[in-house]
Amino acid sequence: MDSTARDERIVEVTGVRYAAGERVIFDGLDLNVRRGSVTAVMGPSGTGKTTLLRLISGQASPAAGSVRVFGRELAGQSRAEVYAMRRRMGMLFQQGALLTDLDVYENVAFPLREHARLPEALVRMMVLTRLEAVGLRGAARLMPWELSGGMARRVALARAIVMDPELLIYDEPFVGLDPISMGVVLRLIRELNDTLGITSIVVSHDVEEIAKVADQAWLLSGGRVVASGAPRELLASEDPPVRQFMRGLADGPVPFHYPAASLRDELFGEGP
Amino acid sequence: MSAHPLASIREVGRYALFVGRLLAETPRALLRPGLVVQQVYNAGALSLVIVMLSGLFVGMVLGLQGFDLLERFGSEESLGTAAALGLVKELGPVVTALLFAGRAGTALASEIGLMRATDQLAAMEMMAVDPVRRVVVPRFLGGVISMPLLAAIFSLIGIFGAQLVGVQMMGVDPGQFWSQMRGAVEQADVMEGVIKSMVFGLSCSAIAVYEGFHAAPTAEGVGRATTRTVVLSSVMVLLLDYMLTAVLL
């Protein structure tokens, strides 16, 4: 691979094997994320999407294979090096994960206060501009419990971008949101990506929604990538696993029934 | 604690490593006194009412029982000494530690456990902020600093309670009450109470933050951590009290 192509890849996952106890989650996972893109990572529940984010953010290490972020191999990095890398990325958690003892303003200011000794006027300017970007400048003095689910996620987004990250990771950003809030978050994902010139990775089940904003999508199943490409290509695919997931079919390669003995044996045979 | 002996030993080892980490991070945490002061307020100031009320009632009971006992030997003037020694050396540190475990310890464990369950600790990790340094150590230090202060207040209010009953209600001579107390209570007695309350504060705070930090990220996990905090802290306080008394007497 030439160096230009590698420079274009902000995240490279190659041949990753990862197991949680006895359960193998990834077995030979390969994917990459292009700089400047919005990349969707999709797949059935329990397929390891959140685990992938943990691998990319250095919260977990693969048993085999390589995870490179910003051109650097994560394996063997010290805690300080991992922390230095994380300062270049932001992450939006499923429920926002706002600090409940701080108001909206202080939540957004939190990374600034922890990592930089800035004059209060500058902190105020940075916080208010980020809150303005997510449309919540007026909510600066509300406490987290006074926010709706959508507002909490927007505040968390403002916090995630306050340190000007190069990579922004969204873990299931649409879960539990009403259609209006979902539309707002979708618009923010695209707008922030383009106006700030960052790269976004979005883990989501919402095929239709994410297809509107993603440049590239990776579909995971059974511990590996089963399809990748533009979301519209995946939606049009006739490949059975892709078709089942993208069209939301109840039965298919991922069976409706959890593996079990036959119902006849269970009901009329000798019990376990 | 797990019933399996090896698992129990492993758990003790994990506790020791965690406390070691807390102590190692302490100097850096003290560079941000605002965070520690906030936790002294949470663990200490917010426990004041319950500690003062309990101190008053324990002192009053001590006054009644002490008077009843000493009167049989005709030495009710020694009530001040008996109450002060009992409170400063034993009841002050022990009862305060038990109250501390029930109020501040459970609050610490559930707060940190809920932060884990709601991904707040993970979010800090992702913001390159060490949650042990930012969240756990200030709370640990808040508890360690608060405990001796609360125990001292408990003992003072307790002595006042004993005086209220002994002198004001039972008619013990106030001069005898205070002068015998001043003559008999030595600095070593006070130091015994101070050492005990410091050790109890360290132990109760460490248990609370350990249980909260290692709680399973579910409602049941947080509840379990809170219960374990009270049970382990109470047993540990009584065990340590016996050991310290044996050493310090």
Give the SS3 label for residue A62: coil
Nearest CA in chain A to B114: A100
Asked whether residue B189 is assigned to any structural domain, the reply reads yes
Asked whether residue B237 is assigned to any structural domain, the reply reads yes
Tell me the shortest Cα–Cα distance from A82 to chain B, in angstroms: 8
The answer to whether A198 faces chain B, any CB pair under 8 Å, is no
| Residue pointed to by tokens 């990220």 | B217
Chain A partners of B118 at a C-beta cutoff of 8 Å? 95, 97, 100
With vertex at residue A216, the alpha carbon angle to CA A215 and CA A222, rounded to the nearest 5 degrees, is 155
pLDDT digits (tens, 9 = 90+) for A80-105: 999 999 999 999 988 889 999 999 99
Q: Are B177 and B167 in contact (CB under 8 A)?
A: yes
Q: Under an 8 A CB cutoff, do B122 and A84 touch? A: no
| pLDDT at res. B20 | 94
Q: Under an 8 A CB cutoff, do A114 and B127 touch? A: yes
pLDDT at B171 over 80: yes
| pLDDT at res. B56 | 97
| pLDDT at res. A20 | 83
Count Cβ–Cβ pairs < 8 Å, chain A vs chain B: 51
| pLDDT at res. A231 | 84
pLDDT at A271 over 60: no
| pLDDT at res. A205 | 78
- Nearest-CB residue to B129 (from A59, A89, A114): A114
pLDDT at A269 over 70: yes
Asked whether residue B240 is assigned to any structural domain, the reply reads yes
Cα dist from B246 to B90, B152, B204, B242, whole Å: 12, 21, 20, 6
Nearest CA in chain B to A169: B126
- Nearest-CB residue to B119 (from A84, A90, A95): A95
Tell me the shortest Cα–Cα distance from A126 to chain B, in angstroms: 17
Cα dist from A262 to A152, A252, A270, A272, whole Å: 46, 19, 12, 13
Q: Under an 8 A CB cutoff, do A84 and B126 touch? A: no
Asked whether residue B20 is assigned to any structural domain, the reply reads no
Asked whether residue B178 is assigned to any structural domain, the reply reads yes
| H or E segment and range at residue A38 | strand A38-42
pLDDT digits (tens, 9 = 90+) for B49-59: 999 999 999 99
The Cα–Cα gap between B127 and B136 comes to: 16
Domain of residue B131 covers 33-248
Asked whether residue B27 is assigned to any structural domain, the reply reads no
The answer to whether A18 faces chain B, any CB pair under 8 Å, is no
| pLDDT at res. A253 | 66
DSSP code per residue over B82-100: HHHHIIIIIIHHHHHHHHH
Could you tell me the two tokens for B233? 């802290």
Chain A partners of B123 at a C-beta cutoff of 8 Å? 91, 93, 97-99, 156
Q: Under an 8 A CB cutoff, do A99 and B128 touch? A: no
DSSP code per residue over A118-176: --HHHHHHHHHHHHHHTT-GGGTT--GGGS-HHHHHHHHHHHHHTT--SEEEEESTTTT
| pLDDT at res. B59 | 96
Enter the DSSP assignment of A94: T
- Nearest-CB residue to A59 (from B115, B125, B134): B125
Q: Are B12 and B20 in contact (CB under 8 A)?
A: no
Asked whether residue B17 is assigned to any structural domain, the reply reads no
| pLDDT at res. A204 | 85
pLDDT digits (tens, 9 = 90+) for A14-64: 999 998 888 888 888 899 999 999 999 988 777 888 889 989 998 888 989
Strand partners, A204: none
pLDDT at A126 over 70: yes
Q: Higher model confidence: residue B32 or residue A257?
A: B32
Residue at B142: amino acid letter: G
Could you tell me the two tokens for B221? 């996990």
| pLDDT at res. A251 | 67
Q: Is B186 exposed, middle or buried (0-12, 13-18, 19+ CB in 10 A)?
A: exposed
Tell me the average pLDDT of chain B.
Answer: 93
Q: Higher model confidence: residue A223 or residue A63?
A: A63
| Residue pointed to by tokens 């990834």 | A26
Q: Under an 8 A CB cutoff, do A98 and B120 touch? A: yes
| pLDDT at res. A117 | 86
pLDDT at A1 over 60: no
| pLDDT at res. B213 | 96
Enter the DSSP assignment of A41: E
- Nearest-CB residue to B120 (from A86, A100, A111): A100
pLDDT at A3 over 60: no
**Mutation for testing the A interface, residue in B32, B126, B130, B134 having most A CBs under 10 Å:** B126
Chain B partners of A98 at a C-beta cutoff of 8 Å? 120, 123
The Cα–Cα gap between B219 and B224 comes to: 9
Q: Higher model confidence: residue A220 or residue B245?
A: B245
When pLDDT is cut at 50, 70 and 90, the band that residue A245 belongs to is: confident
**Mutation for testing the A interface, residue in B127, B130, B132, B222 having most A CBs under 10 Å:** B127
Tell me the average pLDDT of chain A.
Answer: 86
When pLDDT is cut at 50, 70 and 90, the band that residue B249 belongs to is: confident
| pLDDT at res. A108 | 96
Could you tell me the two tokens for B29? 């945490």
Task: Report pTM.
Answer: 0.84
With vertex at residue A143, the alpha carbon angle to CA A139 and CA A146, rounded to the nearest 5 degrees, is 80
Tell me the shortest Cα–Cα distance from A138 to chain B, in angstroms: 24
| pLDDT at res. A149 | 86
Number of domains within chain B: 1
Positive or negative, the CA dihedral A214, A219, A224, A229 is negative
| pLDDT at res. A162 | 92
When pLDDT is cut at 50, 70 and 90, the band that residue A75 belongs to is: confident
Asked whether residue B10 is assigned to any structural domain, the reply reads no
pLDDT digits (tens, 9 = 90+) for A164-173: 899 999 998 8
Helix locations, chain A, DSSP H:
3-8, 49-56, 79-86, 104-115, 120-133, 149-161, 179-196, 207-213, 231-236, 240-247, 263-268
pLDDT digits (tens, 9 = 90+) for B105-159: 999 999 999 999 999 999 999 999 999 999 999 999 999 999 999 999 999 999 9
Strand partners, A201: A39, A169
The answer to whether A78 faces chain B, any CB pair under 8 Å, is no
Q: Higher model confidence: residue A177 or residue B211?
A: B211
